């Protein structure tokens, strides 16, 4: 059995199988390289709240066979201690992704899994019952082939075997938008962010946003980016409510009262927002900064309250550093063990499948679940 890709899903597959003759091929010089960068180097292994609503498609029947608790039990048996944080995210006790990769490496060594590092898979083909894998260094033949190359590495392989799939598009990423230079690098917390896709899909989340020179970033933005990715069109709108716990009416009253502070308008928001953000709100409402707060008319106070509750940005594309890809081989093309329905003995696990989840450990959980299911199906 050959596993293409020694990432999270490929390694789990190798560990779960009872097959004696297992070979992983990967272009990196070490298995699980991506695991090392997950969760900001801490590896958010899974989440106790794993359920269908966190994914683009239903994976319930797979999660029933290998849940987040099964993941932690599996790793605990390999010697990894872990804990849940207050939001249900699981991390290694060491708070280091290296611990996860270390226990995986130890277990692969004990199982005598052969690992071919630094080989770039270039082409796949089929000769009779055998799958042929051509890399930049070797050619391999096997009866059972697992494709676990993740989202970005998958297209060439799928094309070479003539497998249909939804093209891969970055997801869980920052978004390109026109952000005024003045607020670049300003961070706001506990804001409510609503994304409106150009197809009318709407999704909201509360959390932190980081304004960047060319766009918007932060976990909330990453999570909302998936609605654009899943529509395969990065156009739409992001609206930020900077004070979601205050109604617009109440905010109007508060701001009207603040007029009494009798400050230059450019200091009107001191004590509520960082100055740069206050200036941006004034700019959006076309309020000249060379006045005093007392001179603000009710209509101006009203438009300031509106701008605070409705800071809008047109989405112009996806930004950098995507955590996953949306797209891949549809689960409907695969059987219950993630074997291709038309091509026997060809299996898929991880991000190469058209499954993408929110931030919070859900994507790694899919990698563990799918890797385990494929591994245990192959003997």
Ligand X SMILES: Cc1cc2nc3c(=O)[nH]c(=O)nc-3n(C[C@H](O)[C@H](O)[C@H](O)COP(=O)(O)OP(=O)(O)OC[C@H]3O[C@@H](n4cnc5c(N)ncnc54)[C@H](O)[C@@H]3O)c2cc1C
Residue 8 in contact with ligand X, rule: CB under 6 A: yes
Count of Cβ atoms closer than 10 Å to residue 295 Cβ: 12
Q: Note whether 153 binds ligand X by CB under 6 A.
A: yes
| Phi, psi angle pair for 84, to nearest 5° | -100, 140
By beta carbon distance, the residue nearest ligand X is 7
**Binding span for ligand X by CB under 6 A among 29-37, 80-88, 176-184, 232-240:** 29-37
Q: Tokens 């004990």: give the residue.
A: 110
**31-60 footprint of ligand X as x/- string (CB under 6 A):** --xx--xxx----x----------------
Q: From the CB of 45, what's the least distance to ligand X, in Å?
A: 7
Minimum separation from the CB atom of position 163 to ligand X (A): 15
Closest CA to 14 of 26, 292, 355: 26
Give the Cα separation of 372 and 46 in Å (integer).
14
Dihedral, CA of residue 155, residue 158, residue 164 and residue 167, to nearest 10: -10
Closer to ligand X by Cβ: residue 52 or 312? 52
145 forms beta bridges with: 2, 346
Q: Which is nearer to ligand X, 6 or 278 (CB)?
A: 6
β-bridge partners, 29: none
Q: Residues with Cβ < 8 Å from 319, sequence gap 6 or more?
A: 173, 174, 175, 176, 212, 214, 215, 217
Q: Per rule CB under 6 A, is residue 236 in the interface with ligand X? A: no
Gyration radius of the chain over CA positions: 25
SS3 of residue 310 by DSSP: coil
Residue located via tokens 């940005």: 313
121 part of the interface to ligand X, by CB under 6 A: yes
Q: Going by DSSP bridges, is the β-strand pair 202-212/311-318 parallel, antiparallel, or unpaired?
A: unpaired
Q: How many residues bind ligand X (CB under 6 A)?
A: 30
| 9, 71, 174, 225: which one binds ligand X (CB under 6 A) | 9
Check: CB of residue 253 under 8 Å from CB of residue 261: no
**Binding residue (CB under 6 A) for ligand X from 363, 369, 372, 375:** 363
Cβ proximity to ligand X: between 211 and 222 the closer is 222
CB of residue 272 vs ligand X: minimum separation in angstroms?
Answer: 33
Cβ 32 vs Cβ 80: under 8 Å: no
Toward ligand X, which CB reaches closer, 307 or 329? 329
State whether residue 308 is helix, strand or coil. Answer: helix
Of 15, 24, 26, 368, the one binding ligand X (CB under 6 A) is 26
CB of 288 to ligand X, least distance (A): 44
Closest distance between ligand X and the C-beta of residue 324, in Å? 5
Q: Given candidates 92, 215, 350, 375, which one binds ligand X under the rule CB under 6 A?
A: 350
CB of 144 to ligand X, least distance (A): 18
**Rounded to an integer, what distance in angstroms lies between the CA atom of residue 186 and that of residue 365?**
32
Binding status of residue 324 toward ligand X by CB under 6 A = yes
Per CB under 6 A, residues contacting ligand X are 5-10, 26-28, 33-34, 37-39, 44, 120-121, 148-150, 153, 323-324, 350-351, 361-364, 367
């Amino acid at each position: 059995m050959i596993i293409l890709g020694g990432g999270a899903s490929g390694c789990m597959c190798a560990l779960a199988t009872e097959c004696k003759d297992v070979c992983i091929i990967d272009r990196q010089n070490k298995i699980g390289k991506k695991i090392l960068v997950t969760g900001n180097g801490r590896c958010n292994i899974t989440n106790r709240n794993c359920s269908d609503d966190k994914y683009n498609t239903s994976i319930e029947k797979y999660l029933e066979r290998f849940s987040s608790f099964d993941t932690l039990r599996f790793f605990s048996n390999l010697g990894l201690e872990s804990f849940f944080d207050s939001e249900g995210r699981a991390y290694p006790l060491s708070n280091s992704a290296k611990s996860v990769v270390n226990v995986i490496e130890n277990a692969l060594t004990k199982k005598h899994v052969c690992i071919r590092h630094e080989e770039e898979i270039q082409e796949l083909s089929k000769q009779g019952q055998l799958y042929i894998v051509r890399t930049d260094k070797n050619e391999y033949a096997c009866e059972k082939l697992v494709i676990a190359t993740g989202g970005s590495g998958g297209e060439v392989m799928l094309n070479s075997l003539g497998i249909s799939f939804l093209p891969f598009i970055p997801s869980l990423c920052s978004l390109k938008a026109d952000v005024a230079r003045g607020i670049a690098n300003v961070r706001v917390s506990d804001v409510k962010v609503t994304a409106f896709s150009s197809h009318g899909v709407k999704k909201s989340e509360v959390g932190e946003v980081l304004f960047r020179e060319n766009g918007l970033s932060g976990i909330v933005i990453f999570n909302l980016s998936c609605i654009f990715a899943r529509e395969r069109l990065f156009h739409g709108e992001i609206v930020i409510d900077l004070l979601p716990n205050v109604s617009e009416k109440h905010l109007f009253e508060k701001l009207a009262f603040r007029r009494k502070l009798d400050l230059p308008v450019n200091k009107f928001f001191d004590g509520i927002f960082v100055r740069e953000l206050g200036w941006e709100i004034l700019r959006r409402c076309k309020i000249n900064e060379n006045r005093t707060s007392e001179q603000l008319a009710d209509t101006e106070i009203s438009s300031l309250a509106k701008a605070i509750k409705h800071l809008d940005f047109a989405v112009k594309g996806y930004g950098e550093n995507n955590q996953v890809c949306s797209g891949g081989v549809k689960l409907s093309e695969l059987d219950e063990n993630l074997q291709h329905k038309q091509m026997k003995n060809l299996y898929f696990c991880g991000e190469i499948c058209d499954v993408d989840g929110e931030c919070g450990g859900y994507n790694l959980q899919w990698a563990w679940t799918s890797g385990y299911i494929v591994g245990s199906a192959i003997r």
